[in-house]
A and B are shown apart, each in its own frame.
Chain A
Amino acid sequence: MMLMRAYNLLLLFYPASFRHEYGGEMRALFVRRMRDAGGPIARAALWLSTIAEVLGNAFLVHVDLLRQDVHYTARMLKRAPGFAVTAVLIVALGIGATTAAFSVTDFVLLRPLPFPQAERLVKVWETAPGYGRVELSAGNYHDWKRASTVFESIGLYHLFAGNLVGASEPLRVEGASVSADLFPTLGVQPLLGRRFAESDDREGAPGTTMLSYRLWQTRFGGDPAIIGRQVMLDTESYVVIGVMAREFRFPTPDALLWVPLRLTAQAQTERNNNWMYSVGRLRAGVTLDAARAEMNLLAAQSKQQYPKENANVGAAVFRFSDEVSQQSRLLLVALCGAAGCVLLIACANLANLLLSRALGRRRELAVRTAMGAGRERMVRQLLTESLLLAAVGGTLGVIVATLGVPLLNRLVPTALPLSSAPTVDLRVLLFAMALTALTGIAFGLAPVLRVGGEADLGGLREGSRAGGGHKERLRSALVVAEIMASIVLLVSAGLLLRALWTVQARNPGFDAEGVLALQTPLPAETYGPVATREAFYSRVLAEVRALPGVANAAFVSYLPMGRMRGGIWPVGLDGRPIDVADRQVAFIRFVTPAYFATLRIPIKRGRDIEESDARDRQPVAVVSELFVKRYWPDQDAASVIGRHITFAFSDRVVVGVAGDVLMRGLEREPEPQVYLSSKQVADGAIIGYIPRAFVVRSSTPPEALVPSIRAIVRRVDPRLPISDVSTLSDVVDRDTASRAVQLRVLGAFAAIAFVLAGIGIHGLLSFSVSQRAQEIGVRIALGATSSDILSMVVRRSVLLALAGLVPGVALAYAAGRSMEALLAGVKPADAATMGASVTLVVVMMFLGSLLPTLRALRVDPLTAIRTE
């Protein structure tokens, strides 16, 4: 008896239809064999062989069925190519959009950074009121490093840039200066040579550098004997001690080389000069919270120890992988949400297609059931069909995604040391496969539940004229869902478009049109003395201004909206000394004369910086309007001319008030700004702020000037490279580039959704008109007029539209609210956007129902009635 039960269990491996058909006989056979087998040993042998035999054969029976189903499906689909192609394309669009969105999101947000045990890597920052996190000062860093217990190791780095001078053209190289413990903290090894050692960090040690794989390949031809070679960076000689692996891109993907971070004894103890970054590796088992708690404690201790310097200083610890800005994160989440909407619409469409097909095949299915094909066979058959369609569509979708992903590269933030661009890899493929299987099963089940369960004789009796009542309701619900999802997407895309327009319409405070911008990275060693710099400026400026078409030219420390968007120095008002605790700060920019004219920044009062503002004269400053408003709130622009400020090591007199410039980007508010004469500073006092950005306004296309400018600079200093050549308009455009890409992606998604939903509506109405052709025919025969028929069909589509639009608009509003941070002040309930989106959906409904309506009007009563 036990044995029989075991055998029954074994039979469960067979498909139910097979078991049902042959189970009884197989059981009888098994009993007979057991009886015939003499002795327990023979029985045991029989039992074992039976197990093996059942497992093998059950598998083969499953394969047989699958093969049959696939053959059958392929035959059916060949007979309905329109259906097959539509279904495959719909799935391809849905899977393609979702896979592309996932591959970027996964790349940026989900997968670990390319370092061993990257989840233990954190960045440590200082905090300051009003700024959130700020760079570290060396003094605090060293105190905290010494006292902390949560880190296995921690290292320090700072961005580094220099000019690689050698046999060929000088090359601008960027990278980082790193402390010796940084690379061990990251857990990276060099490809060639060695890492930095403590001795490299010491002051006065010979210069050493490690090259990136890219620099080694492009500049040194991958020379295997590179270790030990001397290279010239600016005016100093460095020995190459190592080459890093190709995947190592730190701190940004453009990093080309690394040098030791050397701090003077004085710099080691500075607590108010915040310019460094640090990466720490938490000890195994230490949580982020524990690290934060300890760092807070250490910051509090520092505050007691240095009450003046550390008055407002706290400490913050973030996971390295969380460097992605909130905005980038939100943007990617929105992208995924949009892709999800597209997939949802695609799935609803697929389900609807399969449903109407299943309803159309009700008769066939009923016949098959009557002929003995069990429910299980029917379910298998329908699922095979939808899975087959999904598989073909999914494959096509992956191709779509592979082509689409490179377009999304702009959405990858540069704040992460990611080694490459996102691609469709194995992980993404697995995701796409899972998605495809889910799509196939979930939406193949809809018709199964609807039809498989009741493919009874009713199907035979009614003919194929089924689909009334609750089956229509399911189909309508799917179309309503499509309308909802597409309105959400349309509104989201519309809001982002409005946001982009709003941002682009903001006045940056300067006129970027017709301005060429480039960097002449003057090395601080050579160009530390002001006189050397001024000689360079005056020769270059004189020759460039003489070029045909050039209206004006000037040098400035940093371009607005360029790569360096900071540079805030403390300021003292009306002769008072600087007090850090006041938190009175302003942007600092050193300029040559005519900077304002070149960028067309308006001088509201007073005058520009002039040639006569030389070293031996009273230092002058031009301040921005906001500076006046914030720091002399009861004064107007005219009355501040002549007042004094303490700024950048000197007492300076305000000679002019300029318009505000959006230094940090179009989406940021202006902050107080001060412009100083490039001449009025001590030799070697400024390193980072030496005017190196060169701007030229021209009436001819600015790009055409590049060769002449290059030649002029080379004549003046042959060792000086020129880098970052672009028009200032491009610099401004780059500020909105990720927004524009995001809009394009979301817009594409919305367009796909729009088309799919239109197809869905068309499909539903066409089907229902063809199903009701007979009824329509009877009505016409009974004297219904064209307008009666028209209102019958149109009422349907209007009801569908309303059912989708009302909740759709509410959902769209909710979606808008959740991405408000991306909207640059555009309200989520923006009437124009809502109105335009609703209009589009109404147009889509109209187009979708046009053909079915015409068909309904053209029903010939005689033919329609005779078909039965």
Chain B
Amino acid sequence: MLPAATFHILLALVEEDLHGYAIIQEVARRTDGELTLSAGTLYRSIQRMLEQGFLVETRERPAPEDDDERRRYYRITPLGIATAREETRRLAQLVRMARAKGLAPGKA
């Protein structure tokens, strides 16, 4: 099971390479502001994900116009995608099971 922060970061990076602040914004947007990653949580997760091979740092600057020298951009790796997919499958299965028990929202 992936930590929630890790899964969110993977999701945020599926479509494009992002820098740290952009990841936080993306996660917040996606969860309607329910989850705002703190700087510490973000970078600790990033460090672990780099170590585990889910992410790589990228030197390419996707949007040179609003680039800042200090920023680092992260790109999801095939392993990261596979992991995210596996986690999705696991969650989906969980939801299916919950539905079978009549717990799913809107069906109760």
Q: Give chain A's interface residues, CB within 8 Å of chain B.
A: 18, 21-22, 24-26, 28-30, 32, 49-50, 53-54, 56-58, 60-61, 64, 68
Contact = CB atoms under 8 A, between A and B. Distances in A.
Contacts of B101: none
A28 B70 contact: yes
A58 B24 CA distance: 19
Contact of A53 (B20, B24, B40): B40
A26 B47 contact: no
B46 interface: yes
Smallest CB-CB A-B distances: 9 pairs: A57-B40, A22-B43, A53-B38, A26-B39, A29-B39, A53-B40, A24-B70, A25-B20, A57-B44
A50 B68 CA distance: 24
Contact of B43 (A25, A49, A68): A25
B46 to A, nearest CB: 7
B21 A57 contact: no
A56 B20 contact: no
B47 A18 contact: yes
Contacts of A64: 44, 47-48
A26 B72 contact: no
Interface string B26-41: 0000000000001111
B48 A53 contact: no
B70 A25 contact: yes
B92 to A, nearest CB: 29
B11 to A, nearest CB: 20
Contacts of A22: 20, 43, 46-47
Most buried by A among B19, B39, B40, B72: B40
A30 B39 contact: yes
Contact of A68 (B20, B51, B68, B71): B51
Given A26-B39, A57-B44, 8 more contacts: A22-B20, A25-B20, A25-B70, A26-B40, A28-B70, A54-B40, A57-B41, A57-B43
B21 A26 contact: no
Nearest to B68: A28
Most buried by B among A22, A24, A26, A53: A22
Most buried by B among A25, A54, A57, A60: A25
A56 B40 CA distance: 9
A32 B21 contact: yes
Nearest to A53: B38
A21 B46 CA distance: 11
Contacts of A56: 40
A18 B21 CA distance: 17
A29 B47 contact: no
A225 to B, nearest CB: 66
Contacts of A29: 20-21, 24, 39
A25 B44 contact: no
A746 B40 CA distance: 56
Nearest to A28: B70
Contact of A26 (B19, B43, B48, B51): B43
A783 to B, nearest CB: 54
Contact of A61 (B19, B47, B70, B72): B47
Contacts of B43: 18, 21-22, 25-26, 57
Contact of A25 (B38, B41, B48, B72): B72
A49 to B, nearest CB: 8
Most buried by A among B19, B44, B68: B44
23 contacts: A18-B43, A21-B43, A21-B47, A22-B43, A22-B47, A25-B20, A25-B21, A25-B39, A25-B71, A26-B39, A26-B40, A29-B21, A29-B39, A30-B39, A32-B21, A50-B38, A50-B39, A53-B39, A57-B41, A57-B44, A64-B44, A64-B48, A68-B51
Contacts of A57: 38, 40-41, 43-44
A57 B44 CA distance: 7
Contacts of B47: 18, 21-22, 61, 64
Interface in B43-79: 43-44, 46-48, 51, 68, 70-72
Contacts of A24: 70
Contact of B44 (A30, A49, A61): A61
A787 B43 CA distance: 63
A25 B22 CA distance: 12
A596 to B, nearest CB: 88
A60 to B, nearest CB: 6
B72 to A, nearest CB: 7
B19 to A, nearest CB: 8
Contacts of A21: 43, 47
Contacts of B20: 22, 25, 29
B42 to A, nearest CB: 8
Contacts of B70: 24-25, 28
A61 B46 CA distance: 11
A54 B43 CA distance: 11
Nearest to A49: B38
Nearest to B47: A18
Contacts of B72: 25
Contacts of A25: 19-21, 39, 43, 70-72
A513 to B, nearest CB: 76
B96 to A, nearest CB: 33
Most buried by B among A21, A29, A49: A29
B8 to A, nearest CB: 16
Contacts of A26: 39-40, 43
A746 B19 CA distance: 66
A580 B48 CA distance: 89
Contacts of A53: 38-41
Contacts of B71: 25, 28
A418 B19 CA distance: 69
